[in-house]
Chain A
Amino acid sequence: MLTTKLRIGIVCPYGWDTPGGVQNHVRDLAEFLIASGHTVSVLAPAIDEEKLPDYVVSAGKPISIPYNGAVARVLFGPIAYARVRQWIGAGNFDLLHLHEPAIPSISLLACWAAEGPMVGTFHAAAKRQKVIFAIGPILEPAIEKLSVRIAVSEAARLTLTDHLETDAVVVPNGIYAKRYSDGSAQEKWSGNTIGFIGRFEEPRKGLQVLVDALPIIARFAPDVKVFVAGPGDPKDFEKEIDPQLRDRFEFLGKISEQEKADFMSSVSLYVAPNTGGESFGIILAEALAGGACVVASDIPAFDSLLGSGKYGALFESENSTDLAKVVIDLLRDEEKRKKLAIEGKKRAQLFDWEVVAQQIFSIYEMAMVGGKGVTLGSDHRSWNRFLSRDEEKR
């Protein structure tokens, strides 16, 4: 298992205190590595520096910029650069793990400043964008410093090969599968029920598709109920729903991890109607681990996570009629639901941190072969060598 103890520096580009997939991934990875005895320091922008866990170092307050169709809370600039350099210089790391190094953020700055074994993880999956071709040549010298690139899914890998012409190793996002597997079925969520978790106010989460499909579903399954969990104000959303069907929706607000586990093992179907912008689909992995039968839109990330329908049913993205058809079929066929849920649960074990962290760690080992640890690039400049001749000291 993980025998050598390392000093690992992880850079998270997005604000630590804003919710997001990358932040969750970094947090879980850091905690898993610490639990296996490694020394980990995470550098991340943070709004409230008081409330950080002790392994996180703040790089300053994040600024909001529009990026890739959403608002990203990132940080860059000369002060951030100085902090990044200070963190690298003081950290004495064996290895740096940079997340999303191709966006303007402290990850890119760290990639720029450091020299030595570096691993980069690319999370985003985006369509071809012209702007990337313009900034590609600027990014290239930085990105090629990474010893190993990781993509979280096949979709993210394609984005990377398209935009930056470099290949990556696919290592999926991790979940704590055990946390979800011991949920107990709750009476209140059982029956002909459909579950949805996510920030439903965001159009790309696709709750609207489910709302549009419900009239058809309700005709065939009169007692169907939809439970929507996740942060947000349901008032505006409820106005959009057909008044006759309004009482079939129940908004639960934000639910805890334990409730999530119960939720997944109670509902008949878990529906993920996302219309895009999803690179891996961590919520689907969690739903599978919780033993839910999953229905998802056929966007590339979900398609590959569900093995093209082997571990969960797929419907044509943004097509509510198709969604209704798939849901009705499954609600009527308990046998098939059970079969999918069992297959899905097996599938989810592949995303357990035990497995994923092992993969990431073996990549760390590969990146570190012959490496002498992470140093600041400026230490290697030839004029420094002329001036002080301290190269042998290192």
Chain B
Amino acid sequence: MKALLLFGFLLLLGLWYLSFLATRLDRLHHRVETSWANLDVLLQKRAAIALEIAHSDLADPASSLLLTGAAYQARDADIKNRSMAESGLSGALGLLISDGLAHATQLEQSLLQELSALTAKIRVAISIHTDAVSSTVMVRRKFVVRTFRLAGTAPLPVTYEFESDVL
């Protein structure tokens, strides 16, 4: 009788732990989605500004072409290729800004300012997202989580590789 009670208690405890872990995991997945949505919005905004810069007088025809191409690529890339496409855009923008700052007019100055404010936000968003992904991946690697398939059908979050120094 005593053994049975103990067994029942342990079983309950185990079930509670599983449900606890599942809640935790669900929350983490939610966090990854949120941080990604954040980053995505900011990156889309950046692509839009890049296009605007490409169409302004700041860009000569060649860099305009380069920038437009990079911006469209960044917009269309799927999540796995996204970081590479975005790095390409960062590179193109970096090239232009380093030469362009000297002879920018008022309007273009404000565009560039907007861009640099956005870049600061993107940097923060990236670190938030990276952290969310790594903690999710850490929990998903747990033995219990894998054996009981607590993650369900949720895809394993992709780490977003981003060279922050290009920004």
Which residue, B31, B33, B128, B130, has most C-beta atoms of chain A within 10 A?
B128
Residues of B within 8 Å of A367, CB to CB, are 34
Does any Cβ of B come within 8 Å of A371's Cβ?
yes
Q: How far is the CA of A304 from the CA of B78 in the complex (A)?
A: 39
Instruction: Report the contact-size class of chain B (Cβ under 8 Å from the partner).
Output: 20 to 34
Q: Is B119 an interface residue (CB 8 A)?
A: no
**CA gap between A382 and B23 in the complex, in Å:** 10
Binary interface profile of A, 339-377, with partner B (CB < 8 Å = 1, else 0)? 000000000000000000000001100110111000000
* A141 at the binding interface (Cβ < 8 Å): yes
**CB–CB B38/A366 < 8 A:** yes
B130 touches A167 (CB 8 A): yes
Residues in A whose Cβ lies below 8 Å from that of B121: 362, 366
Q: Is the pair A166, B34 in contact by a Cβ cutoff of 8 Å?
A: no
Which A82-141 residues have a C-beta within 8 angstroms of B?
115, 141
In the assembly, what is the distance between CA of A366 and CA of B128, in Å? Answer: 9
With contacts A144-B24, A145-B27, A363-B124 taken as known, whether A370 is within 8 angstroms of B33 at the C-beta atoms is yes
| B34 in contact with A369 (CB, 8 Å) | yes
Shortest distance from the beta carbon of B114 to any chain A beta carbon, whole Å: 14
Q: Which B residue sits closest to A362, measured CB to CB?
A: B121
Complex: A363 Cα to B28 Cα, angstroms: 18
**In the assembly, what is the distance between CA of A169 and CA of B41, in Å?**
19
Query: Would you call B83 an interface residue if the criterion is a C-beta within 8 Å of the partner chain's C-beta atoms?
Result: no
A-side contacts of B37, CB under 8 Å: 369-370
Q: Nearest chain-B residue to A380 (Cβ)?
A: B23
Give the residues in chain B near A115, CB-CB below 8 Å: 27
* Minimum distance in angstroms from A166 CB to a CB of chain B: 6
Asked whether, in the complex, the Cβ of B24 is within 8 Å of the Cβ of A147, the reply is: no
Contact B128 A369 (CB under 8 A): no
- The chain B residue sitting closest to A167, CB to CB, is B131
Residues of B near A369 (CB, < 8 A) are 34, 37-38, 41
B33 cross-chain contacts in A, Cβ below 8 A:
370
Interfacial chain A residues near B124, Cβ < 8 Å:
169, 362-363, 366
Residue B127 CB within 8 A of the other chain: yes
Task: Let me know if A371 and B34 touch, CB within 8 A.
Answer: yes
User: Does A149 reach chain B (CB closer than 8 Å)?
Assistant: yes
Distance in angstroms from B138 CB to nearest chain A CB is 8
CB of B127 within 8 A of CB of A147, answer: no
Q: Which of A141, A148, A165, A371 contacts B128 (CB 8 A)?
A: A148
Q: Are A149 and B31 in contact (CB under 8 A)?
A: no
Expressed in whole angstroms, the minimum distance between the Cβ of B37 and any Cβ of chain A is 5
- Expressed in whole angstroms, the minimum distance between the Cβ of A103 and any Cβ of chain B is 20
Residues of B within 8 A of A147 (CB): 31, 34-35, 128
Is there contact, CB below 8 Å, between A167 and B127?
yes
Q: What residue of chain B has the Cβ atom nearest to residue A171's Cβ?
A: B124
- Tell me if B73 counts as interface (CB < 8 A to partner A): no
The digit string for A167-209, where 1 denotes a CB below 8 A from any CB of B, is 1110000000000000000000000000000000000000000
With both beta carbons as reference points, the residue of chain A lying nearest to B20 in the complex is identified as: A141
With contacts A144-B135, A149-B131, A167-B130 known, is A366 near B24, CB below 8 A? no
Q: With the chains together, A367 CA to B129 CA distance in Å?
A: 11
Q: Which residue of A lies closest to B128 (CB)?
A: A148
Say whether A166 contacts B135, CB under 8 Å.
yes
Which of B27, B28, B130 has most A Cβ within 10 Å? B27
B125 x A366 contact (CB < 8 A):
yes
- CA distance in complex: A168, B33 (Å): 18
Q: Tell me the bound Cα distance from A367 to B128 in angstroms.
A: 9
Q: Kindly report which residue of chain A lies nearest to residue B136, judged by CB atoms.
A: A144
* A165–B139 alpha-carbon span in the complex (Å): 13
Say how far A318's CB is from chain B's closest CB, in angstroms. Answer: 34
In the assembled complex, the CB of B140 is this many whole angstroms from the nearest CB of chain A, namely 13
Closest CB in chain B relative to A163 CB, distance in Å = 14
A166 touching B131 by the CB < 8 A rule?
Answer: yes
Which of chain A's residues 136-160 have a Cβ closer than 8 Å to chain B? 141, 144-145, 147-149
Name the B residues within 8 Å of A366 (CB-CB): 35, 38, 121, 124-125, 128
- A362 to B34 alpha-carbon distance, docked (Å): 15
Extra contacts, 4 of them, besides A167-B127, A370-B34 (Cβ < 8 A), are A141-B20, A166-B135, A369-B37, A371-B34
Which residues of B are in contact with A by a Cβ distance under 8 Å?
19-20, 24, 27-28, 31, 33-35, 37-38, 41, 121, 124-125, 127-128, 130-131, 134-135, 138-139
A-B pairs, 5 with minimum CB distance: A167-B131, A369-B38, A366-B38, A370-B34, A169-B124
18 example contacts (A-B, Cβ-Cβ < 8 A) are as follows A144-B27, A144-B31, A145-B27, A147-B35, A165-B138, A166-B131, A167-B130, A167-B131, A168-B127, A169-B124, A169-B127, A366-B124, A366-B128, A367-B34, A369-B34, A370-B33, A370-B37, A382-B19
